[in-house]
Amino acid sequence: MTAVTAPAIRDDLRQWQQALRAQFPIVTGHPELAYLDSAATAQKPQAVLDAVQTYLTTSNANAGRGTYTWANRTTELVERTRERVARFLGDQRPDRSAVHFTSGTTEGLRTIARDWLPRFLRDGDEIVVPDADHQANIAPWWEAQRLLAREGTHIRVVPMPYQSGSGDYDHRALAERAGPRTRFVATTHVHHVYGGDMNVQRIRRAVGPDAVICLDAAQSVGHLPVSVAELDVDFVVFSGHKALALPGSGAVWARQARGPAFAPGGWNGTPNTVGIASLEAALDWLEAAGVERVEQWTVALAARLTEGLRRLDAYEILGCPLSLAADSAVQRRQGIVTLRHRAIDSGDLGFILFSHGFMVRSDNHCQGDAGEKTGSVRVSLHVYNTVEEIDRLLSVLASLA
């Protein structure tokens, strides 16, 4: 059985992508392999690798703890990258907001839950938690509830409602559940399993003007434009390693408009300066490449993949079924396509695909208890992936149908 003919992708995008793909040494160095696991971690362009090398060989020092040249350069790097993050997120009032560097999204969300949320909530308040999203955006809020309970403050955790069969938030049901005591809402920008834009702009309309909204942007920053000027959220948290920077880097952006000012507790130790250097370089690279075009490319590849998969009866594609066709008016899969074979175990399918040169994720993807109960195979894309890789993947999947 052969895969169906997939929709065409614009020639100008193809040429643009070819020039960018050539800048990823690990990708071009292994042409026999197709790396399809960018939702777990993204590969790094040469510009990021060069920035790391330059920093470590010219300016490596601690930040904010010395007056000599290398220390001053490092302190300037940290402050400059804070400004870079705010600018990359479209922050039009950086004088009011704050950027705090973390090891990634998980630490960032836990920092908010541990150091900020208990100062914001009062006895009887409610928080909304998305129990079918990534565990990193679930566990910290339940931990905060337990911490507050030990201190005598009892809050109610309200499960985020989802639309049946699509994995999208049910904004109408949320509006019915939210009340005057709904003080905090944890949300996700792009779902790490279903690949959908979760329409967080509708969250504000559902919960009202006063609730604090915290956005897990691990799968959106570096993949599509993220504008805090347009998204009326109070926190944006993301991981550098998913946005072409090094592992162990990430940031919390805080609007500082609702509730107390965000300030992580405890002593500020030595920051991950080399990670911060890589993050600055990654954001520079992404801006020069054009994040809008990165989104266009990965969405086009995901559409090509889903268009082929939906005609193979052996496979179930997770997420909104209306977004499978390439010409769908609701196509919102942001470079993530998750699937199951109806007869082959997902772990086995992952091994089979690797034997053909495809590196994918095959497990439950750290989804919360309200999510999928059965493992699946996730294909996640970035700018270095090609049309030929998608067509070759479809051919292999079709041979197994």
pLDDT score of 12: 87
Run of H or E including 53: helix 46-58
Could you tell me which residues are beta bridge partners of residue 212? Answer: 184
Instruction: Please enumerate in sequence order all residues whose Cβ is within 8 A of that of 348, keeping only pairs 6 or more positions apart, or say none.
Output: none
- Residue 132, classed as helix, strand or coil, is coil
pLDDT score of 4: 41
Run of H or E including 17: helix 11-21
pLDDT score of 265: 86
Structure tokens at 146: 């337990």
Length of the chain: 401
Structure tokens at 55: 């920093």
- Residue 127, classed as helix, strand or coil, is strand
Alpha carbons 133 and 326: distance in angstroms, whole number: 25
Each residue's pLDDT tens digit in the chain (401 positions)? 334 444 567 888 999 999 999 999 999 999 999 999 999 999 999 999 999 999 999 999 999 888 999 999 999 999 999 999 999 999 999 999 999 999 999 999 999 999 999 999 999 999 999 999 999 999 999 999 999 999 999 999 999 999 988 899 999 999 999 999 999 999 999 999 999 999 999 999 999 999 999 999 999 999 999 999 999 999 999 999 999 999 999 999 999 999 999 999 888 889 999 999 999 999 999 999 999 999 999 999 999 999 999 999 999 999 988 777 777 777 678 999 999 999 999 999 999 999 999 999 999 999 999 999 999 999 999 999 999 999 999 999 999 99
Which DSSP string corresponds to 352-377?
Answer: HHHHTTEE-EEE-TTB-TTS-SS-EE
How many beta carbons lie within 10 A of that of residue 218, not counting itself? Answer: 28
Alpha carbons 206 and 179: distance in angstroms, whole number: 10
Alpha carbons 105 and 123: distance in angstroms, whole number: 28
pLDDT score of 325: 74
pLDDT score of 331: 61
- Provide the whole-model pTM: 0.94
pLDDT score of 381: 98
383 Rama sector, left if φ>0, alpha if ψ -120 to 50, beta otherwise: alpha
The span from the first CA to the last CA of the chain, in angstroms, equals 7
255: DSSP letter: -
pLDDT score of 7: 58
Alpha carbons 16 and 31: distance in angstroms, whole number: 19
Q: Which residue type is seen at 169?
A: Y
Largest CA distance in the chain: 68
